[in-house]
């Protein structure tokens, strides 16, 4: 019996030992499962139960002008948030905060009554406001309210270059201008900030102050010169008061590099308070405004005709005051008839009838070909959002009347940036450059990430043609319609424009509404700046030469002083209307035998006169350059065979 009890006891002990081992084994397996297989999921679950998180943004990179002056910066500011579960009396709290936050009490009360443990009340508070609220929280012993530091965008110069810079929304997203175009580059890093909570999910408020911003985004240096930008905007503000246009734009460029030195528009806005303005004020008209350029486009027509040999500076035209093309009558802007005039007078007085003749010589295909070569009909590719492409006819669709109107700057739509870029090519010896506004982008450590560079689009006209046209455009400023843009002691070239506005639906012109403009460059001997002034629908006087040219002259005078370009004592190029007249050369005295000819001296003759002189003798001309003959490959009085080629080099004098 005793032995039986012992055996039973041993069996029980063995059973319990086996059971214990099995339980330990199960427990070890469970711990192993939780630790190595399901550990990440469980850790995340625990973290979720005791933590909350908010995505915060580190500061954006700074935007500077070309000389390192700050245009857009980021600074830390305080944002107010609440834990609605700790707010016992939402109405009282809302009434205390509403006057300080400039919000309706009902709006705050709704936020404080929401479900959850975290809600923003108002972000990006001004320092003085945050301080006042902090005092109220302390004095009234309010629970469930606290602050979080966030990065806020600030524009220290208020509206200066507003449309170029753009603005940033509350969630640190660039919404316009360079802020939008470079958002991914200058935007700071997104950081997930964890907030510790207790077992009921209520935030432990002190934990949220552990936010440490990461390094800011990359810094951007623009080609803008703040001093020139200020000069431009100051003049624009005066023009808005005096001429009361619906809108206005001014662009200043370096014609040798394509750098945009200033770009300003009116109406404008303050990007620090962008939400108080409409998209009309936000619009960068310099790149997003299509308009008919009027007579400023005649500089491009002149360039094409001179380059193609369809026009000579000393050529004369008969102006009857109007011309009819395909049943359409085109009159001069002045309504006058100028009679027998030289092309110098044609461009000085912007005579429509003569430009129609020139355009008809070129024809639809050549006229459109040169317009496209100068960059019209397509976006320039500048690093700014919202750029328009303008509008050009397809040459195969053009009637003669379309060619005629395009020759005087109608039936074509351009942007201000396209026009100044095209005219800058004339100042740059015929080379069209791509405009750019980003000088460089630097990393946080100061190293250069990317540099802007001068990029040639192509040689659209020869250097000789460009210099000839520059001389002719100088006459416009010196003695013609653009003389109010002249600056004493300096030589500037330019062209005025006055164009009727198209109706918004494109159905025709809006009677009594005009766009006045002036485009030019200088100093002529070495152009450092090109400028375009566009006034949209001015009140009262609306001629470009009367209201746009004076604005350009005022701006150019100040820019010359800013750039330390001193006045030059020099005669305009050409010095007078007579300077383009050919010199009379006596006939050669050498006699040639039969079948041969004597090469004449053609120095001082125009291309047309030289061609006529040589071809009458049976010689072939190989012209190089534009202007008047300066030298020839075969000396005068040389006896040569009939049919010999004579290379003649032409220069502007």
pLDDT band, residue 640 (cuts 50/70/90): confident
- Give mean pLDDT, residues 117-145: 86
Question: Domain check: are 601 and 536 in the same one?
Answer: no
Encoded tokens for 169? 């929304």
Q: Which residue has the higher pLDDT, 34 or 288?
A: 288
Question: Domain check: are 481 and 543 in the same one?
Answer: yes
Encoded tokens for 161? 């270059």
Question: Domain check: are 484 and 617 in the same one?
Answer: no
The alpha carbon torsion through 483, 487, 488, 490 (nearest 10 deg) reads: -110
Question: Which residue, of 205, 220, 235, is where some domain finishes?
Answer: 220
The residue segments making up the domain with residue 435 are: 226-562
The yes-or-no verdict on residue 50 having pLDDT over 70 is: no
- Give mean pLDDT, residues 553-582: 68
pLDDT band, residue 27 (cuts 50/70/90): confident
Under 8 Å between Cβ of 347 and 475: yes
Question: Domain check: are 397 and 544 in the same one?
Answer: yes
Phi, psi (rounded to 5 degrees) for 253? -130, 160
Asked, for residue 593, whether it belongs to a domain, the answer is: yes
How far is the CA of 541 from the CAs of 234, 237, 538, in angstroms? Answer: 21, 17, 7
pLDDT tens by residue, 100-126: 898 998 898 888 888 777 888 888 888
CATH number at residue 178: 3.90.1310.10
Burial annotation 263-277 (CB, 10 A radius, 16+ → b, else e): bbbbbbbbbbebeeb
pLDDT tens by residue, 300-339: 999 999 999 999 888 999 988 889 898 889 998 878 888 9
Asked, for residue 33, whether it belongs to a domain, the answer is: no
Q: Lowest-confidence range among 150-159, 193-202, 621-630? A: 193-202
The count of domains in the chain is: 3
Asked, for residue 643, whether it belongs to a domain, the answer is: yes
Question: Domain check: are 468 and 436 in the same one?
Answer: yes
Question: Domain check: are 172 and 269 in the same one?
Answer: no
Three-state secondary-structure class, residue 93:
helix
Q: How far apart are CA 347 and CA 326, in angstroms?
A: 24
pLDDT of residue 94: 87
Partners of residue 622 on adjacent β-strands = 647
Q: Which residue has the higher pLDDT, 384 or 81?
A: 384
Q: Which residue has the higher pLDDT, 115 or 237?
A: 237
Q: How far apart are CA 103 and CA 462, in angstroms?
A: 65
pLDDT band, residue 609 (cuts 50/70/90): confident
Under 8 Å between Cβ of 474 and 573: yes
Q: Which residue has the higher pLDDT, 386 or 27?
A: 386
CA angle (612, 616, 617) in 5-degree steps: 125
Asked, for residue 520, whether it belongs to a domain, the answer is: yes
Q: How far apart are CA 541 and CA 565, in angstroms?
A: 33
pLDDT band, residue 524 (cuts 50/70/90): very high
Question: Domain check: are 312 and 453 in the same one?
Answer: yes
DSSP 274: G
Asked, for residue 177, whether it belongs to a domain, the answer is: yes
Under 8 Å between Cβ of 388 and 288: yes
Question: Which residue, of 562, 595, 619, is where some domain finishes?
Answer: 562
Question: Domain check: are 543 and 462 in the same one?
Answer: yes
Asked, for residue 43, whether it belongs to a domain, the answer is: no
Question: Domain check: are 63 and 203 in the same one?
Answer: yes
- Give mean pLDDT, residues 118-140: 87
Question: Domain check: are 551 and 494 in the same one?
Answer: yes
Three-state secondary-structure class, residue 420:
helix
The yes-or-no verdict on residue 592 having pLDDT over 90 is: no
pLDDT tens by residue, 148-196: 877 788 899 999 999 999 999 877 889 999 999 999 999 866 655 555 5
The yes-or-no verdict on residue 282 having pLDDT over 70 is: yes
CATH number at residue 311: 3.40.710.10
Burial annotation 300-319 (CB, 10 A radius, 16+ → b, else e): bbbbbbbbbebbbbbbebeb
Question: Which residue, of 495, 530, 562, is where some domain finishes?
Answer: 562
Three-state secondary-structure class, residue 68:
coil
Asked, for residue 41, whether it belongs to a domain, the answer is: no
CATH number at residue 641: 3.30.10
Q: How far apart are CA 159 and CA 271, in angstroms?
A: 7
Under 8 Å between Cβ of 424 and 253: yes
Rg (CA), the chain: 37
Asked, for residue 572, whether it belongs to a domain, the answer is: no
- Give mean pLDDT, residues 534-551: 95
The yes-or-no verdict on residue 43 having pLDDT over 50 is: yes
Task: Name the percent of the chain lying above pLDDT 90.
Answer: 53
H/E element holding 529?
strand 529-536
Question: Domain check: are 117 and 235 in the same one?
Answer: no
The yes-or-no verdict on residue 199 having pLDDT over 70 is: no
The yes-or-no verdict on residue 572 having pLDDT over 60 is: no
Mean pLDDT of the chain: 85
- Give mean pLDDT, residues 367-378: 97
Q: Which residue has the higher pLDDT, 141 or 45?
A: 141
Question: Domain check: are 646 and 536 in the same one?
Answer: no
């Amino acid at each position: 019996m005793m032995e039986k009890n012992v055996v039973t006891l041993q069996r029980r002990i063995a059973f319990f030992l086996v059971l214990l081992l099995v339980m330990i084994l199960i427990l070890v397996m469970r711990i192993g499962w939780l630790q190595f297989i399901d550990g990440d999921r469980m850790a995340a679950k625990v973290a979720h139960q005791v933590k909350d998180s908010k995505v915060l943004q580190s500061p954006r990179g700074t935007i500077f002008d070309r000389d390192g002056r700050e245009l857009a910066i980021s600074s830390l500011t305080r944002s107010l948030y609440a834990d609605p579960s700790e707010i016992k009396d939402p109405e009282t709290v809302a009434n205390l905060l509403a006057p300080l936050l400039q919000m309706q009490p009902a709006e705050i009360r709704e936020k404080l009554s929401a479900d959850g443990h975290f809600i923003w009340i108002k972000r990006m508070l001004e320092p003085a406001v945050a301080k006042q609220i902090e005092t109220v929280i302390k004095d009234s012993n309010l629970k469930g309210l606290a602050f979080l530091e966030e990065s806020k965008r600030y524009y220290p110069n208020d509206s200066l270059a507003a449309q170029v810079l753009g603005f940033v929304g509350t969630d640190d997203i660039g919404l316009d201008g360079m802020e939008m175009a470079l958002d991914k580059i200058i935007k700071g890093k997104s950081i997930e900030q964890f907030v510790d909570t207790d077992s009921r999910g209520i935030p432990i408020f002190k934990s949220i102050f552990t936010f440490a911003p990461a390094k800011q985004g990359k810094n951007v240096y623009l080609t803008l010169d703040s001093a020139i930008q200020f000069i431009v905007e100051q003049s624009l503000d005066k023009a808005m008061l005096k001429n009361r246009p619906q809108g206005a734009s001014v662009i200043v460029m370096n014609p040798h590099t394509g750098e945009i030195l200033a770009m300003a528009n009116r109406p404008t806005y303050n990007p620090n308070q962008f939400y108080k303005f409409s998209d009309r004020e936000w619009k960068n008209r310099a790149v997003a405004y299509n308009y008919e350029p009027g007579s400023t486009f005649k500089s491009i027509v002149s360039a094409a005709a001179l380059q193609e040999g369809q026009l000579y500076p000393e050529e004369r035209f008969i102006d009857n005051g109007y011309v009819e093309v395909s049943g359409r009558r085109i009159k001069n802007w002045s309504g006058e008839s100028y009679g027998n005039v030289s092309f110098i007078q044609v461009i000085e007085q912007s005579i429509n009838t003569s430009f129609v003749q020139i355009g008809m010589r070129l024809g639809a295909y050549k006229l459109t070909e040169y317009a496209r070569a100068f960059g019209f009909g397509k976006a320039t590719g500048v690093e700014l959002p919202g750029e328009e492409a303008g509008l050009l006819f397809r040459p195969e669709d053009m009637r003669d009347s379309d060619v005629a109107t395009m020759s005087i700057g109608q039936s074509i739509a351009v942007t201000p940036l396209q026009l100044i870029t095209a005219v800058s090519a004339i100042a740059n010896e015929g080379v069209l450059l791509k405009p750019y506004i980003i000088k460089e982008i630097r990393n946080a450590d100061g190293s250069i990430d990317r540099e802007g560079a001068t990029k040639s689009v192509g040689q659209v006209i020869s250097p000789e043609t460009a210099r000839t046209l520059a001389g002719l455009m100088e006459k416009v400023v010196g003695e013609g319609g653009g003389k109010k843009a002249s600056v004493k002691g300096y030589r500037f070239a330019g062209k005025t424009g006055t164009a009727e506005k198209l109706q918004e639906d494109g159905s025709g012109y809006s009677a009594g509404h005009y766009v006045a403009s002036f485009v030019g460059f200088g100093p002529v001997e070495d152009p450092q700046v090109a400028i375009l002034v566009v006034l949209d629908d001015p009140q009262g006087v609306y001629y470009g030469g009367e209201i746009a040219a004076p604005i350009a002259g005022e701006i150019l005078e100040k820019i010359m002083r800013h750039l330390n370009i001193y006045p030059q004592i020099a005669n305009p190029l050409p010095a007078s209307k007579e300077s383009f007249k050919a010199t009379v050369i006596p006939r050669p005295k050498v006699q040639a035998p039969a079948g041969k000819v004597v090469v004449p001296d053609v120095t001082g003759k125009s291309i047309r006169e030289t061609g006529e002189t040589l071809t009458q003798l049976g010689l072939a001309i190989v012209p190089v350059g534009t202007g008047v003959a300066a030298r020839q490959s075969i000396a005068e009085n040389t006896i040569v065979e009939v049919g010999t080629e004579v290379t003649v080099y032409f220069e502007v004098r």
